[in-house]
Copies of this chain bind each other. A is one copy, B any other.
Amino acid sequence: MDKKKNISMAVIKRLPKYHRYLSELLKNDVDRISSKELSEKIGFTASQIRQDLNCFGDFGQQGYGYNVKELYSQISNILGLSKEYNTVIIGAGNIGQAIANYTRFEKIGFKLLGIFDTNPKLTGIKIRDIEIQDIDNLEMFLKENNVDIGIICVPKINAQKVCNLLVNNGVKGIWNFAPVDLAVPGDVIIENVHLSESLLTLAYLLNEKEDQKE
C-alpha cells in the first residue's frame, strides 16, 4: 500500500489511539465496525475517523464498515510495526525500570536489548532477563548491536551527553524522558515525554475552570 506523503502531525498523533482501540476490538473478537460505532468508543467524530483513515487509503466499505483485522494490520503497517525496533534504555531509575517492565512494548515490536546506568548498585540486577550494565559499556554495545531507539531516562544534566553518544553511534530514534530539549542532527527523530509539562497543563485547566465558576 502506498502511503500518501504529507500526512499532518495531528493525524499521525491519532493513529496510535486507533491502533490501541482496534487491538482491543480484535481481542474481543469483533469482526467489523462502522465509523459511527468506532466514534462512540474512541471519542473522535465519525467524519473525523473517515477523513483520517482516508489519508492512508481506502479502508472502509459503504454500509459494511471497517474490517477490524484488516484495519488493524494496515494501521500497524502505517505505524511501522511490521518491523522490529531494537531499543536500549539509559538510566535504570524508576522511569527506566517502568519502561523496561512494559511487556506490551515488546509485543508490538520494540525489543529491549540493553539497560545501562552509572549506579554500581544497579548494575548486575536483571529486569526481564536483561542485566543492567555499566554505562561505560554503552558505546561498545552500540557498535556491536544495531540499535534503532535509545530511551533516555537519565537526569537532565546528563541527557545531552547520553544523547550525543547514541547519535554518534548511529541511533536514529530518541525517546526522551529527561525534562530538557535535546539537540540532535536533522536525520534523528526525537519524541519527548515531558511529564512536568503535562502536569502543568492539568493545573492550568483546573485553575481556569475554577476562575470560570467565580
Contact = CB atoms under 8 A, between A and B. Distances in A.
Interface in A50-100: 78-81, 83, 85, 93-95, 97-99
Q: Is the interface of A mostly helix, strand, loop or mixed?
A: helix
A80 B208 CA distance: 8
Contacts of A12: 201, 204-205
Contact of A80 (B173, B175, B203): B203
Contact of A175 (B43, B85, B187, B198): B198
A207 B178 CA distance: 24
A37 interface: no
Contacts of A15: 200-201, 204
Interface of A: 3, 12-13, 15-17, 19-20, 42-43, 78-81, 83, 85, 93-95, 97-99, 101-102, 104-105, 108-110, 148-149, 172-173, 175, 179, 181, 187, 189, 191, 193-209, 211
